[in-house]
Copies of this chain bind each other. A is one copy, B any other.
Amino acid sequence: MLTLYSFGPGANSLKPMLALYEKGLPFTPRFLNPAVFEHHEDWFKKINPRGQVPALDPRRQDHHESTVICEYLEDVFPNDRPLRPKDPYIVAQMRVWTKWVDEYFCWCVSTIGWERMVSGMARAPLRRGIRGEGRAHSRSPNSRPNGATPAPASPRKCWRRRCARSASRSRGWKNALSESPWLAGPDYTLADICNFAIANAWSAASPDIVNPKATPHLMDWLARINARPAVKEMFAKAQRETLAPPPKAATA
């Protein structure tokens, strides 16, 4: 039985979680509570020494990159509701999309999300010295094991501008979604899942940028995904985090 170590159904944790639900694969969910930095606790660092979620299967320590986990599931379970196309050309398009979200889009959105939602709670433990592990709050290479030092506060306005560009640029989302209901080719693929993981929260957090008038194609696409049975099941069943301040003992 696969075990998925993750936060709640959002951002990078959502990617393999939704892939598992879409493919109908049984798995043991193991929720980690970010509010108490559970992913930095010793028991989890025995599973993933980098202290990052999501991670799949305790015997597979290298399975800690969300998009790599998704491709791994396709490699191992290719016939359980395939989420990777058969045509190599469309697979390449899919990978350009999953690469784009990992290298650019995710950072635009998560930088804003970090500052808005978890900054006060998380900065204290970070200042105490949890460095070189887990996500940091800017698009510096801090999530990499080598880029250990958290970056200074990010220029939020700059990231918001980039987010806005992501929604409005002529190529990309709009072009892809005017040709097909899905991002890469005619079928629902990992391109949709990996971008949905980031864009779904973005639409809620930035209604000034993502809304039915400004980005109708994007809103329709989000609605199509949210209406899928697997997505509904995931959101109904998955444990969610409450980003409350950690207990006093943890912040002392």
Contact at A62–B93, with CB atoms within 8 Å?
yes
Residues of B within 8 A of A104 (CB): 141, 144, 146-147
**A70 → B minimal CB distance (Å):** 10
Contact at B91–A75, with CB atoms within 8 Å?
yes
Contact of A187 with B by CB under 8 A: no
Contact (A65, B148) CB under 8 Å given A91-B75, A102-B103: no
Contact of A100 with B by CB under 8 A: yes
Contact of A124 with B by CB under 8 A: no
Pick the residue among B65, B89, B99 that contacts A72 (CB under 8 A). B89
Contact at B103–A144, with CB atoms within 8 Å?
yes
Which residues of chain A in 58-99 are interfacial with respect to chain B, using CB atoms and an 8 Å cutoff?
60, 62-65, 67-69, 71-72, 75-76, 88-89, 91-93, 95-96, 99
Contact of A107 with B by CB under 8 A: yes
Pick the residue among B60, B75, B89, B171 that contacts A49 (CB under 8 A). B171
Size of the A side of the interface (Cβ < 8 Å), in residues, is 42
Residues of B within 8 A of A156 (CB): none
Pick the residue among B72, B144, B166, B171 that contacts A88 (CB under 8 A). B72
Contact (A99, B102) CB under 8 Å given A72-B89, A88-B72, A171-B49: yes
Q: Residue of B at shortest CB range from A166?
A: B146
Residues of B within 8 A of A186 (CB): none
Residues of B within 8 A of A141 (CB): 103-104, 107-108, 139, 162
- Docked CA distance A130–B89 (Å): 29
Contact at B139–A165, with CB atoms within 8 Å?
no
Nearest 7 CB-CB pairings of A with B: A75-B88, A104-B144, A104-B141, A146-B165, A72-B92, A68-B95, A76-B88
| Contact flags A148-162 to B (C-beta < 8 A → 1, else 0) | 100000000000001
Q: Residue of B at shortest CB range from A62?
A: B93
Residues of B within 8 A of A88 (CB): 72, 75-76
Pick the residue among B68, B92, B147 that contacts A69 (CB under 8 A). B92
Contact of A216 with B by CB under 8 A: no
Contact of A237 with B by CB under 8 A: no
Contact at B95–A71, with CB atoms within 8 Å?
yes
Contact at B92–A68, with CB atoms within 8 Å?
yes
